[in-house]
Amino acid sequence: MAGIYIHIPFCKQACYYCDFHFSTSLKKKDEMIVAILDELLMRRSEVGEEPIETIYFGGGTPSLLEASELNRILAFIADHFEVIEHPEITLEANPDDLNADALQKLAQTRINRLSIGIQSFYEADLKMMNRAHNADEALNCLVEATKYFKNISIDLIYGIPGMTEARWLQNIETVLSLGIPHISSYALTVEPKTALYKMIQTGSIPKPDDGVAHQHFLLLMDRLKEAGFIHYELSNFGKEGYFSQNNSAYWLGKKYLGVGPSAHSFDGQSRSWNIANNALYIKSILDKKLPIEREVLSEADRYNEYVMTGLRTIWGVDLARVENDFGVRFRSYVVAQSERFIADGLMSNDVGILTITNKGKFLSDGIAADLFWLNLK
Ligand code: SF4
């Protein structure tokens, strides 16, 4: 088992673009923590004797939990699971929760990595996305966090309507000036059923422009390469030694146990996901029933997932592994399907490892879809 993921389903307010599962009411916070501990126990046997290498508090906004509550969950995991000596333990955190006092307390827990949702250092961008923090908090929390944590990742969003190239570059420069060793960066995407979607439909916000987002992505790749970052996954850049071990394990197809409402798990053969409703999740756990759905992956599903995630990473798609895990017909298929992308300079085949070139990176999901095995499901 590579890791444990814990979904903390609470946020102070709803960011306009967000389609994750969360509630803005913290009334059930105590019951939720108890339910999460119960779920960990109910699913203990899924892990077997495999040691836990990474623990990840995601959400939602896990930094809404007190350090004592995080410690309680970590102590429970240590008591009931075999955990390696130095696991990577990540807390997703929002800037408005990271004042000096909170950081001091977090530094005394076993948490050793922060993933901070900065998104932008500009007030106009933060307001447009309805983030709970302001520009001062974005900057100040990083100045403070770097006093206590070495392993920090920050999220940045590009392609925001109204975001100029100069503003985007300034965001990148600010991160670099603070010595942050890991950046996750995404284009602003418009998901159905979000407030952002409705605002665009009614014309109160312009639609994000794909061309602008592409340009921002190119600037990001260039500047971070120059600054010594490794572009190890499509949306992730890390200095040597600072890749996310938790996320790398997902991308390399390792197993993980996800607990909490809406959390997903993977046991090597099947995927499962918990109900995305706080009250129903708690009730089900109290009734000693797992609020879970499972899907056993077909051979084609597992191949498609490998292609999708492999092409997003520097590790690529290993043709020998394709042949070994799925057979020679899958290998022949992926080689044939990738030929035209290689000819167009969008992919490369380097001693049996297929990867996406820089030119193809912005198109990688579409390229992967063309390599999917569609007919055998
Ligand atoms: S803080 Fe994160 S999870 Fe919460 S609404 Fe904003 S983007 Fe979504």
Q: What is the pLDDT of residues 25-39, one digit of tens each?
A: 999 999 999 999 999
Q: How far is the CA of 20 from the centre of ligand 1 (A)?
A: 7
Residue with CA nearest ligand 1 atom 6:
15
Atom of ligand 1 nearest to the CA of 92: 2
User: Probe ligand 1: pick from 61, 137, 191, max atoms within 8 Å of CB?
Assistant: 61
- The reported pLDDT for the residue numbered 375 is 60
User: Probe ligand 1: pick from 6, 8, 11, 23, max atoms within 8 Å of CB?
Assistant: 11
CB neighbourhood size of 102 (10 A): 18
What are the two backbone dihedrals, phi and then psi, of residue 313, each rounded to the nearest 5 degrees?
-115, 165
| Spatial contact of 330 and 322, defined as CB atoms under 8 Å apart | yes
User: Probe ligand 1: pick from 6, 12, 15, max atoms within 8 Å of CB?
Assistant: 15
Q: Is the CB of 187 under 6 A from ligand 1?
A: no
Angle 43-47-52 from CA coordinates, rounded to 5°: 115
Nearest to 71 by CA among 44, 109, 98, 37: 109
pLDDT in tens, 106-138: 999 999 999 999 999 999 999 999 999 999 999
Q: Is the CB of 95 under 6 A from ligand 1?
A: no
Q: Are strands 270-274 and 264-266 parallel, antiparallel or unpaired?
A: antiparallel
- The reported pLDDT for the residue numbered 269 is 87
Q: Is the CB of 76 under 6 A from ligand 1?
A: no
Q: Are strands 182-187 and 152-158 parallel, antiparallel or unpaired?
A: parallel
Atom of ligand 1 nearest to the CA of 59: 3
Answer whether residue 377 shows pLDDT above 70. no
HEC string for the chain: CCEEEEEECECCCCCCCCCCCCECCCCCHHHHHHHHHHHHHHCHHHHCCCCEEEEEEEECCHHHCCHHHHHHHHHHHHHHCCEEEEEEEEEEECHHHCCHHHHHHHHCCCCCEEEEEEECCCHHHHHHCCCCCCHHHHHHHHHHHHHHCCCEEEEEEECCCCCCHHHHHHHHHHHHHCCCCEEEEEECCCCCCCHHHHHHHCCCCCCCCHHHHHHHHHHHHHHHHHCCCEEEECCEEECCCCCCHHHHHHHCCCCEEEECCCCEEECCCEEEEECCCHHHHHHHHHCCCCCEEEEECCHHHHHHHHHHHHHHECCCEEHHHHHHHHCHHHHHHHHHHHHHHHHCCCEEEECCEEEECHHHHHHHHHHHHHHCCCCCC
The gap from C-alpha 339 to its chain's centroid, in whole angstroms, comes to: 31
pLDDT in tens, 160-209: 999 999 999 999 999 999 999 999 999 999 999 999 999 999 999 999 99
Atom of ligand 1 nearest to the CA of 19: 8
Atom of ligand 1 nearest to the CA of 94: 1
| Spatial contact of 346 and 360, defined as CB atoms under 8 Å apart | yes
User: Probe ligand 1: pick from 20, 118, 278, max atoms within 8 Å of CB?
Assistant: 20
Cα→Cα distances 107→68, 82, 101, Å: 12, 23, 10
Separation between Cα atoms, residue 161 and residue 125, nearest integer Å: 8
pLDDT in tens, 331-354: 999 999 999 999 999 999 999 999
Answer whether residue 359 shows pLDDT above 80. yes
Q: Is the CB of 14 under 6 A from ligand 1?
A: yes
Which residue type sits at 41? L
| Spatial contact of 103 and 80, defined as CB atoms under 8 Å apart | no
Q: Is the CB of 22 under 6 A from ligand 1?
A: yes
Which residue type sits at 326? F
Q: How far is the CA of 284 from the centre of ligand 1 (A)?
A: 25
pLDDT in tens, 203-246: 999 999 999 999 999 999 999 999 999 999 999 999 999 999 99
Q: What is the average pLDDT value for the chain, to the nearest integer?
A: 96
Tell me if the pTM is above 0.85: yes
**What mean pLDDT comes out for the span 262-280?**
95
Answer whether residue 376 shows pLDDT above 70. no
Residue with CA nearest ligand 1 atom 8:
18
Largest CA distance in the chain: 58
- The reported pLDDT for the residue numbered 1 is 55
Share of the chain above pLDDT 90, in %: 94
Q: Is the CB of 16 under 6 A from ligand 1?
A: no
Which residue type sits at 181? P
- The reported pLDDT for the residue numbered 246 is 95
Residue with CA nearest ligand 1 atom 3:
60
